[in-house]
Amino acid sequence: MTVNGVRKEIDPGRGTVPVVVKGRTLLPIRAIVEAMGGTVGWDGKANKVTIKMDKTTIILTIGKKQATVNGKTVTLDVAPQLLNDRTMVPIRFVAESLGCEVLWDEKTQTVTIKFKRAQKLKQ
């Protein structure tokens, strides 16, 4: 991935790559959320991912198409999955829930996330 012009690994040291499932791109989310100033928590017993940024909290459960955003239930097109011991979540859902714009370039198979707050973080 590239963050503000700097190349970084999506899943440092593990070589994990995004996968497409039923037309949705899934990937490990921690590096992306942390690059935007958020946090990611993992509850291994419940298989739940909790993403927090500003006033938004997203909870996703492995294998479940129902997620919550600030306590409101939302149905996903594709459930989060465990692949090669990595938690893979739908990037568009997470990014848009955090207020980002998500663009897909079919030709280059590239997802671009525009995070408006990023400029403020630099100052």
Residue 8 pLDDT grade (very low, low, confident, very high; cuts 50, 70, 90): confident
Q: How many domains does the chain have?
A: 1
| DSSP 8-state class, residue 4 | T
Residue 118 pLDDT grade (very low, low, confident, very high; cuts 50, 70, 90): very low
Place of tokens 């663009």: 103
Q: How would you class 27 by CB atoms within 10 Å of its CB: exposed for 0-12, middle for 13-18, buried for 19 or more?
A: buried
Amino acid in the structure at residue 82: L
pLDDT tens across 42-79, in order? Answer: 999 999 999 999 999 999 999 999 999 999 999 999 99
Question: Which residues span the domain enclosing 19?
Answer: 2-122
Q: Write the CATH number for 49.
A: 3.30.457.10
Please give the model's pTM, rounded to 2 decimal places: 0.84
Q: Which residue has the higher pLDDT, 6 or 37?
A: 37
The number of beta carbons lying within 10 Å of the beta carbon of residue 21 is: 14
* Percentage, residues of the chain above pLDDT 90: 41
Q: By C-alpha distance, which of 88, 74, 78, 4 is closest to 40? A: 88
**Residues 6 or more apart from 66 whose CB is under 8 A from it?**
73, 74, 75, 76
